[in-house]
A = this chain, B = another copy of it.
Amino acid sequence: MDLDVVFLGTSGSVPTAQRAPSALLVRRGGERLLFDCGEGTQRQLLRSTVGLVELREVFVSHFHADHYLGLPGMLKTFALRGREVDLTIYGPPGLVRLFSSLKRIFGKLTYEVRLEELEAGDVLERDGYNLTTFAPAHGVSAVGYAFVERPRPGRFDVEAADALGVDPPERGLLQRGESIELEDGRVVTPDEVLGPPRPGRKVVLAGDTAPSPIVLEAAREAEVLVHEATFLDEERERARETAHSTALEAAELARDADVSFLALTHLSNRYFGPEIAREARTIFPDTVVPKDFDVIDVPFSERGSPRLVRGGVRRRREEVVEPEREEAVP
- Please give the residue numbers on chain A whose beta carbons come within 8 Å of chain B beta carbons, in ascending order: 12-18, 20-21, 39-40, 42-43, 46-47, 65-66, 69-70, 72-73, 76-77, 80-81, 101-102, 104-106, 230-231, 238, 242, 244, 268-270, 272, 315, 320, 322-323, 325, 327-330
A17 near B40: Cβ-Cβ < 8 Å = no
How far apart sit A76 and B272, CA to CA, in the bound complex (Å)? 22
Residue in contact with A329 in the complex, picked from B14, B21, B42, B328, CB distance below 8 Å: B14
B320 near A17: Cβ-Cβ < 8 Å = yes
How far apart sit A81 and B13, CA to CA, in the bound complex (Å)? 11
How far apart sit A73 and B210, CA to CA, in the bound complex (Å)? 24
B18 near A268: Cβ-Cβ < 8 Å = no
How far apart sit A242 and B320, CA to CA, in the bound complex (Å)? 27
B69 near A65: Cβ-Cβ < 8 Å = no
Residue in contact with A315 in the complex, picked from B17, B47, B244, CB distance below 8 Å: B17
A325 near B13: Cβ-Cβ < 8 Å = no
Chain B hits for A327, CB < 8 A? 269
Chain B hits for A15, CB < 8 A? 42-43, 46, 73, 77
B320 near A18: Cβ-Cβ < 8 Å = yes
Chain B hits for A72, CB < 8 A? 65, 69
Chain B hits for A325, CB < 8 A? 270
Chain B hits for A231, CB < 8 A? 330
Chain B hits for A322, CB < 8 A? 270, 272
Chain B nearest CB from A22 CB (Å) reads 12
B69 near A73: Cβ-Cβ < 8 Å = yes
Given A39-B40, A39-B73, A43-B20, CB of A329 within 8 Å of CB of B13:
yes
How far apart sit A231 and B330, CA to CA, in the bound complex (Å)? 8
Chain B hits for A102, CB < 8 A? 105
B80 near A73: Cβ-Cβ < 8 Å = no
Which residue of chain B has its CB nearest to the CB of A230?
B330
Which residue of chain B has its CB nearest to the CB of A103?
B101
Pick 15 A–B contacts, CB within 8 A, sort by A. A13-B77, A14-B77, A15-B42, A16-B46, A17-B315, A39-B43, A39-B73, A69-B72, A231-B330, A238-B330, A242-B330, A268-B328, A269-B329, A270-B322, A270-B328
